[in-house]
Chains A and B, each alone.
Chain A
Amino acid sequence: EEQLVESGGGVARPGGSLRLSCAASGFTFDDYGMSWVRQAPGKGLEWVSGIKRSGDTTAYADSVRGRFTISRDNVKNFLILQMNGLRAEDTALYHCARGFLGGPLDYWGQGILVTVSS
């Protein structure tokens, strides 16, 4: 059974950093592109970033480009989101999801909460 489990969330100060991880299991991880999607409290879904299965191509939403970095470890089956220069508007539930270029988001993790506050 396909499973995605996020970790690494918490509270950070404005300007601070957090590193999110997503552990993948139940499928061949390096066969799929992966994405991060976030949802601010009471708001809709926002696609944040994605990475191709080989890791050689990445993409970002304008709102996070230059501050966030997506990467993956195809040996340990992990997806990573390094978040620097955090802002209050980055406060959200962050979901890891399977899918990227040309592929829908067909499996989702339950999400991990990131709160940016002074």
Chain B
Amino acid sequence: EIVLTQSPGTLSLSPGERATLSCRASQSVSSGYLAWYQQKPGQAPRLVIYGASRRATGIPDRFSGSGSGTDFTLTISRLEPEDFAVYYCQQYGSSPPFTFGQGTKLEIK
């Protein structure tokens, strides 16, 4: 089983600032099958990034993903008020279980 470790656990920033979230895998994620999800209170998760770097439909271009192998990053270039949420990474490669990271809470400073 691939274990995903996200850091930091909580990130406190102000609107307009840049956010950098990390996801580290215990073993290589095949074919870059790494996704990021955003979850707001009381809502279902929403796909933000898939294939490590591809934005999902309707996701603004201030969101970007990068990385390969075992180290992945989600960057939000200029935070908007609606971006404050919990973000999860997930690997969905060739071998289940398709584990999630424990989440990073992005909160307003």
Residues of A within 8 A of B (CB): 35, 37, 44-47, 50, 59-62, 95, 99-111
Contacts and interface: CB of A to CB of B under 8 A. Distances in A.
B46 A47 contact: no
Contacts of A110: 43-44
Contacts of B100: 37, 44-47
B98 A35 contact: yes
B44 A108 contact: yes
A110 B1 CA distance: 27
Contact of A47 (B39, B94, B99, B102): B99
27 contacts: A35-B98, A37-B100, A44-B88, A44-B100, A45-B37, A45-B39, A45-B88, A45-B100, A46-B100, A47-B90, A47-B97, A50-B96, A61-B97, A100-B98, A101-B92, A101-B94, A102-B33, A102-B93, A104-B33, A104-B56, A104-B90, A105-B47, A105-B90, A105-B92, A106-B47, A106-B50, A109-B44
Nearest to B57: A106
Interface of B: 1, 31, 33, 35, 37, 39, 43-47, 50-51, 56-57, 88, 90, 92-94, 96-103
Nearest to A103: B92
State the 3 A-B residue pairs at the shortest beta-carbon distance, nearest first: A59-B96, A104-B50, A108-B44
Contacts, number: 72
B72 to A, nearest CB: 13
B70 to A, nearest CB: 19
A61 to B, nearest CB: 5
Contacts of A111: 44
Contacts of A103: 92
A69 B88 CA distance: 26
Contact of A108 (B33, B45, B98): B45
Nearest to B35: A104
Contact of B45 (A59, A61, A105): A105
Contacts of A106: 47, 50, 56-57
Nearest to A109: B44
